[in-house]
Amino acid sequence: MGEEPITSSYDRPGRHLNFPPDFLWGAATSAYQIEGAWNEDGKGASIWDRFCHTSGRVEGGATGDVACDHYHRYRDDVATMAALGLRAYRFSFAWTRLFPNGDSRPNPAGFDFYRRLIDALREHGIMPVATLYHWDLPQALQDAGGWVNRDTAYRFADYAGRVIEAFGSDVPLWATINEPVLIAFAGHVLGNKAPGTRRFWQVLTIVHHLLLGHGLAVQAFRDIAPRPASDLPEPGIGIVLSVRPSYPATPRPADVRAAQLMDLLTKQLYFAPLFRGHYPPAALTFFRRRLIPLKQQPDDLQIINQPLDFLGLNVYSRALIAARSFNPLISIREVAPTGPTTAMGWEIYPPCLYDVLKLAASYTDIPLYITENGAAFPDQPQPDGTINDQDRIAYLHAHLAEAHRAIADGINLKGYFVWSLLDNFEWEEGYRPRFGLIHVDFKTLQRTWKQSATWYRDVIARNGLRVIGNS
């Protein structure tokens, strides 16, 4: 284990890339993707329950009804986290487990489950990192208009306040919303994620209400001001953005402009209101020209532009963007990657992690966390049961080296969470893509460590990586 200062020379064989001593090594999951128990102990239906139970929406007709059955197996899963040496575990609360109808009537059994989960983490010295909303809106709120309805932002803030009151002291890091860009575009424009609508004309309204809900939840957090348990740091709150840098497919000016437009709609549209208190004028012009309205009230941007304690970044890949002329709504298209890809078809391009951190640092100097990074590969258990996922190890290694490079360049990166702890329900793609460090047999629900799990355990134990070799 090296005690060298953090510098940025990456080509010295055998060199150890040591991370800062307090670096937060973690793994991440989300409620719908692992918990199962979709209608047990008083849980209400979410938009993902409805989406999966609608035929033709999810590959192979898969649902999260059982998923990894984490609801019943959380104790064993926490023991696995402890064996991995995780310092932090990022999970999400299922809104409908806590408030089945999305109103103010709580479900005590749901609170009890998360109390037991958090206690188990704390017993093992693992820091709970909680996301309040990872896509599973109560169906009752969707029936009232979902994120198109401004009231949903207020319902979210009420829910957030109740959860923060209940668990605030035991959770040092709170994220409001996971990946608003995916909720808005995949959920409401492409329609491949729940609620599965295709309403491009409402997209700006949805983005605005998501950000408003975030800001209101941050205000609720500040009002409650949870005091930390004696052995935990002061609780803080932030948001988790998914950032996939856009690079022009060719140097042609039209492609360069298309990549800039993609960045405007998928990144600046979120970063600017959150950190600068305004929507990018070019984005507003883009939407105005397409007659897409933004109805806002006078203080909304102030509410959205709250000081945050950290920013979470989910980084997987980059997008190669080219222009297209025939679509009147959006004149951009993504072209096929030029490099190797994961089972999601996403290009393996580690420098994107550095680029995303640089981008975030250009907006804010608050602590940054990579709240998700990882890869799906078609892992095949060997006859002896082992899973030798060298491709995942290489992916994680290369991305962590980029994280280290960013720290060496002075970026305020405080932690890294592998997506994911377990193979799990990958939304509309069902159980085919496997992202886990831990393999899950979805017939028996048996968990098996992949080699990447052992590798990550060693990375955590050494607090870093070796440049050459697998760790």
Task: List interacting residues with ligand IFM (CB under 6 A).
Answer: 30, 33, 179, 314, 372, 419, 426
Q: In this structure, are residues 428 and 52 in contact, taking their beta carbons and an 8 Å threshold?
A: no
Angle between helices 203-224 and 269-276 (to 10 degrees): 30
Q: In this structure, are residues 86 and 25 in contact, taking their beta carbons and an 8 Å threshold?
A: yes
> Closest approach of Cβ 463 to ligand IFM, in Å?
26
> Closest approach of Cβ 29 to ligand IFM, in Å?
8
- Residue 76 has φ and ψ, to the nearest 5°, of -65, -40
- CA nearest 303: which of 242, 243, 222? 222
> Closest approach of Cβ 179 to ligand IFM, in Å?
6
Q: In this structure, are residues 217 and 157 in contact, taking their beta carbons and an 8 Å threshold?
A: yes
Q: Which is nearer to ligand IFM, 301 or 421 (CB)?
A: 421
Active site residue 372: yes
Q: In this structure, are residues 156 and 216 in contact, taking their beta carbons and an 8 Å threshold?
A: yes
Q: Which is nearer to ligand IFM, 263 or 372 (CB)?
A: 372
Q: Which is nearer to ligand IFM, 369 or 419 (CB)?
A: 419
Q: Which is nearer to ligand IFM, 339 or 345 (CB)?
A: 345
> Closest approach of Cβ 266 to ligand IFM, in Å?
14
> Closest approach of Cβ 150 to ligand IFM, in Å?
25
Alpha-helix residue ranges (DSSP H) falling in 135-202: 139-143, 151-167, 180-185
Rg, the chain, Cα only: 21
Q: Which is nearer to ligand IFM, 50 or 162 (CB)?
A: 50
Q: Which is nearer to ligand IFM, 419 or 455 (CB)?
A: 419
- Residue 152 has φ and ψ, to the nearest 5°, of -60, -35
Strands 16-18 and 464-466: antiparallel
Catalytic residue among 35, 347, 372, 428: 372
Alpha-helix residue ranges (DSSP H) falling in 305-449: 351-363, 390-408
Q: Omega before 420 cis (within 30°)?
A: yes
DSSP tag of 266: I
Q: Around Cβ 82, how many Cβ atoms within 10 Å?
A: 16
Active site residue 165: no
Q: What is the 3-state secondary structure (H, E, C) of 275-308?
A: HHCCCCHHHHHHHHHCCCCCCCCCCHHHHHCCCC
Q: Which is nearer to ligand IFM, 96 or 314 (CB)?
A: 314
Q: What burial class does residue 3 get, using C-beta atoms within 10 Å of its C-beta: 0-12 exposed, 13-18 middle, 19+ buried?
A: exposed
Q: Which is nearer to ligand IFM, 64 or 110 (CB)?
A: 64
Ordered strands of the 319-323 beta sheet? 246-248, 319-323, 332-334
> Closest approach of Cβ 402 to ligand IFM, in Å?
18
> Closest approach of Cβ 275 to ligand IFM, in Å?
21
Q: Which is nearer to ligand IFM, 141 or 186 (CB)?
A: 186
Token pair belonging to 69? 């059955």
> Closest approach of Cβ 426 to ligand IFM, in Å?
5
β-partners of residue 415 are: 24, 369
Catalytic residue among 179, 402, 426, 428: 179
Q: In this structure, are residues 56 and 196 in contact, taking their beta carbons and an 8 Å threshold?
A: no
Q: Which residues contact 244 (CB under 8 A, 6 or more apart)?
A: 266, 315, 316, 317, 318, 319, 352
Chain-centre distance for alpha carbon 244: 12
User: Cα(287)–Cα(270) distance, rounded to whole angstroms?
Assistant: 15
> Closest approach of Cβ 35 to ligand IFM, in Å?
13
Q: Could you list the active site residues?
A: 179, 372
